[in-house]
Amino acid sequence: MRGKWFLVGTALGALALVSSACYIGTPGGPTVGIVGDSITHLLEPYLDAITPVAYRIDVNGRSGATIADQLGTIDLMERTDVPPPQDWILNLGTNDALYGARGIATNWQAAFQVMMALVATARCVILVTVHTVIDTTSSHVAADLNRLMWSAHAADPSRVLVLNWDGLAAEHPDWLEVDAVHPNAAGLQGLTNWYNLALSVCPA
């Protein structure tokens, strides 16, 4: 499955705020924080497939959340999870792009920089791109945000990985609901598989 969907090093490969310290999974395993929006909320039942692979995960998917909306969640998990997440999967930006398509600014650029600063000491950060089908106007927030993710990888290629959900969703339209944004059951399973693969190549 390694290929064009996430990057490893420099080679191309590819709801409410909850309390912290709520890891599930293998005791003593590497700790993973997974934060996102409705896509992550829908994904939560599928993430059981990650826990047998020796990880402990703390998941927070908040429907409708922008990047800025979930900064408090990331900060809380960093400060109070014991231990803090060693690895992160950050699947945010879809709602920033949706707002952008409606002409509503969310200051996503500044929020992205704060997000990256919050996880600056993590061993591995996996950034999940936004499906650019959302870019229905000249705002192109999804495309611009994706470019920022690739730039973050370029600046720290051994630690920051990019999982190209935009490419996967474009190649597998059958993975999406009729809104072309949210994954259906097949898409959620596919995305979970890619989360597993990305975590498996995080720096040890």
Within-domain flag for 101: yes
Residue 2 is predicted with a pLDDT of: 31
Q: Is the pLDDT of residue 12 over 70?
A: no
Q: Output the average pLDDT for the chain.
A: 88
Q: Is the pLDDT of residue 13 over 90?
A: no
Within-domain flag for 6: no
Residue 142 is predicted with a pLDDT of: 97
Confidence of residue 189 (pLDDT cuts 50, 70, 90): very high
Question: Does 1 or 61 have the greater pLDDT score?
Answer: 61
Within-domain flag for 2: no
Please list, in sequence order, all residues whose beta carbon lies within 8 angstroms of the beta carbon of residue 31, skipping any fewer than 6 positions away: 23, 55, 56, 57, 58, 81, 83, 84, 85, 86, 87
Within-domain flag for 3: no
Q: Which of 157, 156, 167 is nearest to 131 (CA)?
A: 167
Within-domain flag for 174: yes
Residue 21 is predicted with a pLDDT of: 55
Cα(98)–Cα(136) distance, integer angstroms: 9
Within-domain flag for 187: yes
3-class secondary-structure state, position 86: coil
> For the segment 103-132, what is each residue's pLDDT rounded down to a tens digit?
999 999 999 999 999 999 999 999 999 999
Residue 58 is predicted with a pLDDT of: 95
Q: How far apart are the first and last CA of the chain?
A: 20
Within-domain flag for 18: no
Question: Does 170 or 51 have the greater pLDDT score?
Answer: 170
Residue 59 is predicted with a pLDDT of: 95
Helix (H) or strand (E) holding 133: none
* DSSP class of 130: P
Total domain count, the chain: 1
Q: 83: cis peptide before it, omega within 30°?
A: yes
Q: Return the CATH number at 158.
A: 3.40.50.1110
* Over residues 6-19, mean pLDDT: 35
* DSSP class of 11: E
Domain that holds residue 109: 28-200
Residue 204 is predicted with a pLDDT of: 67
Within-domain flag for 15: no
> For the segment 21-80, what is each residue's pLDDT rounded down to a tens digit?
579 888 888 999 999 999 999 999 998 777 767 899 999 999 999 999 999 999 999 999
